[in-house]
Amino acid sequence: MSTPSFRIGFGYDVHRLEVGNKFILGGVEIPHEKGPSGHSDADVLIHAIIDAILGAAGLRDIGFHFPDADAELKNIDSTILLKKVCDLLKEKNYKIVNIDSTVVLELPRVNPHVPDMKTRLAGVMSITEDQISIKATTNEGMGFIGFQKGIAAYAVVLISSL
């Protein structure tokens, strides 16, 4: 029996916030007057996780697999993209060990929604909620995030061979 190999990946995403857009984060809709703007549903947390998974597996980035010029991807639910990436990971004979992520925004408050996001993401990725960490912080009123003009997310993923 061979020893599993481990790889780590890092992901980052950012989107503008605009009045009237749905606020989708971690596959969960959160009531708020503003929401991220993008080609898909603009779920920055899922996009950061996708990039981290792809990076760990050496599979390029989210834009390579899901280009924003693709009309079929317009307004797509990012959980669909995440599922496809997890399928690619399995094809490469890797599995997710754990995910650590941080969302950076001023409002809305994320912490009350973390349990729902973990449940949703775990189901999409076929992993346990204990394998997912979602943290949130503000930008202390500084920059485009602090002025509530945008949202960012960071993710680190550890994968191992099957």
Question: Would the pTM count as exceeding 0.75?
Answer: yes
Cβ neighbours around 21 below 10 Å, total: 18
Give tens-digit pLDDT for 6-23.
999 999 999 999 999 999
DSSP letter assigned to residue 26: T
Inside any domain, residue 2: no
Please give the share of the chain, as a percent, with pLDDT higher than 90. 93
What's the pLDDT at 1?
59
Domain total for the chain? 1
Inside any domain, residue 157: yes
Q: What is the mean pLDDT of residues 138-145?
A: 97
CA distance linking residue 80 with residue 108, whole number of Å: 24
Inside any domain, residue 156: yes
Inside any domain, residue 150: yes
Per-residue HEC secondary structure of 99-142 comes to EEEEEECCCCCCHHHHHHHHHHHHHHHCCCHHHEEEEEECCCCC
Identify residue 76 by its one-letter amino acid code. I
- Domain range for residue 71? 7-161
Inside any domain, residue 1: no
Give tens-digit pLDDT for 74-112.
989 999 999 999 999 999 999 999 999 999 999 999 999
Inside any domain, residue 121: yes
In the chain, what is the greatest distance between 2 CA atoms, to the nearest angstrom?
A: 55
CA distances from 25 to 29, 68, 72, 93, 95 (A): 6, 19, 21, 28, 23
DSSP letter assigned to residue 3: P
CATH, residue 77: 3.30.1330.50
Give tens-digit pLDDT for 59-77.
999 999 999 888 898 989 9
What's the pLDDT at 4?
80
